[in-house]
Amino acid sequence: MTDRASERDFLLPARLRVAIDGPAGAGKSTVARGLAKRLGYVLLDTGALYRTVALAARRAGITWDDEPAVGALAQTLANEAAISVEASESAPVSLMPPSRDSAVSTAIGGSGMRVLLRGDDVSTAIRAPEMSLGASRVSAIPAVRAALLDMQRRAGLEGGVVLEGRDIGTVVLPDAEAKFFLTASAAIRARRRMEELAARGTTMAFEAVLHEVESRDRADTERPVAPLKQASDAILVDSSDRPVAEIIEEMALVVEARARVR
């Protein structure tokens, strides 16, 4: 350890790994973004990686239920470092092993992120409702999860990160120092999803969105590989009737307290 590093370790709280899991529409993205900003941490939205695999499959003419082909595609994308995530703010965190000078890096800042697939900005394309379905499908394929696992773990190597997803506290970073499971009622999550879609110019009826939310929940919780499940040591946070700022503050205080005692 350098003098500088040891000095820093004495003076500043540790930079922890924070896992935020939960079902679709629980407000994870907003909370994770706000928490990362509040703590000065880097954010990785892992759902974007699954969405990008779904989009890449679509572009390659591979159907989402063609498990061997989608699995092989995900492995190729990982090997070729074809997916990169860039921050609009904050310093980048590398997703690649230090020995590789490749393009798969991520830097997701406090105010959103840009996702690139072979250099092509797919940030908007992966947010289409169809890609939510595609991501849910491809995320059930073990080979896809395996291909994306290393990338996600690398993002957590240095600490000072918030990883947001479905299996961060259980599979990706089981030893994360702070784990949260964020949830909300299905109706509230559907209402939020509807507003989110409307803001992007897509109008959908409440019942249709609710149906989509519930069927994604089922698919995510019932799949045999890395199902959506609260880690035994995760703090359950219900965001149903609470202001986002209050939730973020509560979570930040937990992280800060744990960072001080380390």
Q: Which residues are at the interface with ligand DC (CB under 6 A)?
A: 24, 46-47, 50-51, 132, 135-136, 139, 165-167, 216, 220
CB nearer to ligand DC: pick between 169 and 259? 169
Spatial distance between the Cα atoms of 23 and 217, rounded to a whole number of angstroms: 6
Output phi, psi for 178, to 5 deg: -135, 125
- Which one, 50 or 181, has the nearer CB to ligand DC? 50
C-alpha dihedral (56, 92, 28, 18), degrees to nearest 10: 120
Provide, rounded to whole angstroms, the least separation between the CB of residue 8 and ligand DC: 31
Give the nearer residue to ligand DC in terms of CB position, either 23 or 110: 23
Integer Cα distance of 75 and 53 in angstroms: 10
Q: How distant, in Å, are the alpha carbons of 132, 188, 209 from that of 206? A: 17, 10, 5
| CA-to-CA dists, residue 200 to 87, 98, 196, angstroms | 20, 37, 7
Least separation in angstroms between residue 47's CB and ligand DC is 2
Q: What is the Cα–Cα distance from 10 to 167, expressed in whole angstroms?
A: 32
In the complex, least distance from residue 137 CB atom to ligand DC, rounded to whole angstroms: 8
Distance CA 188, CA 165 (A): 19
Report the distance separating Cα 254 and Cα 30, nearest Å: 18
Least distance (Å) from ligand DC to the CB of residue 89? 20
C-beta of 47 vs 109, nearer to ligand DC = 47
The rounded Cα 123 to chain-centroid distance in angstroms is 14
The distance of closest approach from Cβ of residue 123 to ligand DC in the complex, given in angstroms and rounded to an integer, is 12
In the complex with ligand DC, the residue whose CB is nearer, 134 or 259, is 134
Q: How far is the CB of 55 from ligand DC (least distance, A)?
A: 11
27 or 160, CB closer to ligand DC?
A: 27
CB 46 to ligand DC: min, Å: 4
Nearer to ligand DC, 118 or 229 (CB): 229
- 232: tokens are 């035994």
Do 25 and 195 meet the contact criterion of CB atoms below 8 Å apart? no
